[in-house]
Amino acid sequence: MSDTRPLFSLVVETERAVSEITSLRLFEAGAAGLEEGDTTEGARFVAYTEDADELERFRTALTELRGELEQRLGRQPKIESRVLTDRQSTWRTEWKRYVRPVALTERIVVRPVHIEADAEPDWPRNTTTIVIEPSFAFGLGHHATTRMTARRLEGWIERAPDSTVLDVGFGSGLLSFVALIAGAPSVDGVEVDPVALDAASTNADLNGLGERCRFSIGAPEDFARPFDLVVANIDADTLMRLSGQLLDRLVPKSGLLIVAGIPSERVDEVAAHYGARGGRETHREVGPDWALLELARHQPKVCP
């Protein structure tokens, strides 16, 4: 029997002045990826989902954004949206034709499994390819936060290849695979989404990494032992909610926490939140839309 669940396409058109913040809010609402294009007045975004609840979250985020911008600008901004519904079962395979390989770091590229290796772009000779089964629920590495996090993670592991690693919110498993390719002997990963567990396990097997990945459903606090490196590319609110658990999972004197998925406009807020809970910022990277923080644990002073 064919799967006839519909695909929802949320088409959003904005004026140029509010295009970036609109894209940002859709990602914050859970969009794994956006189809982007220009219009005569600004930008056009398309978010795809098969989840009616997720579609409603996207629409609610746009409604709230319109209200915020109207107060800030003193006028009603152009953020128009409409929903298209495709009830044809063929969308489950057809959309994958438009997913292309992407350079995740200088030496790691990601290729959708349906694209043959000889059809890849002409990458530099020393690159390593991660093969991924594309999914609407999880990105393929095109998002700026994934690439930003992958670069920092790869650099850290290359300097300390024996590091123990915990990937919080592993999604498709991409960041776990980056850690393994960079030299980590194994990776633990924790998620709340059973769909992610299936996707990451499948992708690990596709890349011959299944025996080095320990993916599970749960929370960071479920792990009794500390890790040299904890990475969480999620969203700002979840990162703040989990701040205590994430910091507690670090090796006390040398552990590093990488948190990403933070809108640039909120990076100071997130940094202050972690600082108030014993986190010591060691590095930050701020782009036009997204930011990343690296943190260690403050060590309590011992009275003589």
User: What digits encode the pLDDT tens for the residues 28-79?
Assistant: 888 866 777 788 888 899 888 888 898 999 999 999 999 999 998 899 999 9
Mean pLDDT within 278-294:
93
Contact call for residues 264 and 23 (beta carbons, < 8 A):
no
User: What is the set of domains in the chain, with CATH numbers?
Assistant: 7-95 (3.30.70.120), 146-297 (3.40.50.150)
- Look at strands 7-15 and 290-297 and give their pairing: unpaired
Look-up of token digits 């057809």: 94
Residues constituting the chain: 304
HSE, side-chain direction, 13 A CA sphere, residue 234: 23
pTM: 0.75
pLDDT at position 304: 45
Mean pLDDT within 266-290:
94
Contacts of 132 (CB under 8 A, 6+ apart): 110, 111, 112, 113, 140, 141, 172, 174, 203, 206
Two structure tokens written together for 92: 């489950």
Mean pLDDT within 112-134:
72
Q: Tell me the one-letter amino acid at 99.
A: V
pLDDT at position 4: 62
DSSP one-letter string for the chain: ----PPEEEEEEEEEGGGHHHHHHHHHHTT-S--EEEE-SSEEEEEEEES-HHHHHHHHHHHHHHHHHHHHHHSS---EEEEEEEE--TTHHHHGGGG---EE-SSSEEEEETTS-GGGS----TT-EEEEE--BTTB--S-SHHHHHHHHHHHHHHHHSTT--EEEES-TTSHHHHHHHHHT-S-EEEEES-HHHHHHHHHHHHHTT-GGGEEEEES-GGG--S-BSEEEEES-HHHHHHTHHHHHHTB-TTT-EEEEEEEEGGGHHHHHHHHHTTTEEEEEEEE-SSEEEEEEEEPPPPPP-
Contacts of 207 (CB under 8 A, 6+ apart): 130, 131, 177
Mean pLDDT for all residues in the chain: 86
**Sign, Cα dihedral of 151, 152, 153, 156:** positive
Q: Which of 191, 179, 201 lies closest to 135 in space, CA to CA?
A: 201
pLDDT at position 116: 67
Look at 2-11, 132-141, 145-154, 202-211 and tell me which has the smallest mean pLDDT: 132-141
Q: 10 Å Cβ neighbour count for 186?
A: 14
Taking the C-alpha atoms of residue 36 and residue 25, their distance in angstroms, rounded to an integer, is 14
Whether pLDDT at 123 is above 70:
no
Whether pLDDT at 301 is above 50:
no
Two structure tokens written together for 269: 């807020």
Q: Which of 235, 269, 230 lies closest to 246 in space, CA to CA?
A: 230
Label residue 98 by pLDDT band (50, 70, 90): low
